Amino acid sequence: MRVLGIDPGYGILGWAVIEDSFKALAYGVIETSKQAHFDDRLHEIHTGMTVIIREYAPETAAMEKLFHARNTTTSLDVAKAIGVVILTLRMHGLRCAEYSPLQVKYALTGYGRASKSQMQEMVLRLFGMKEIPRPDDAADALAIAACHSMAGKSPQRAPIRKSS
């Protein structure tokens, strides 16, 4: 199963495509310009996700759930970016599973309160990598994709409905 893992954000969005549990096909980030209008940043996310979906043809997607941050404005902006991602996935016939940070940490390390360095070490081991993917958002996306793959979820393709 080919899984697209997503670490949501509007400044930097991490993504990773894996296959057969622990084979990393590609990973990276969509980075938006801080100087750009927020609408343009959301459009950059949509465009970037579209390119990734078309190039790697994932069968399913998984994203980290938004946690409550101290800054309400930041949380709302990340939520808007998540909406854009979910809509983009849906436009390509994909549904998106969501996992809390605790679920991702538990799936990879067996401990829901694992540190960032413990998570990065597990990503290295699981994917047989020599270096930790940078930036951290890409490594986080690999962890999210692995979590979904280990959860044994079947591919979640959905028919695309044409609006009238």
Which residues are the active-site residues? 7, 64, 137
The H or E element spanning position 3 is strand 2-7
Q: Distance from first CA to last CA of the chain, Å, rounded?
A: 33
Gap between the Cα atoms of 62 and 146, Å rounded: 9
3-state helix, strand, coil in the chain (%, to 5): 45, 20, 35
Dist CA 57 CA 94 (whole Å)? 10
**Of all helices (H) and strands (E), which one includes residue 19?**
strand 12-19
Alpha helices, DSSP H only, in 57-157? Answer: 72-91, 101-109, 116-127, 136-150
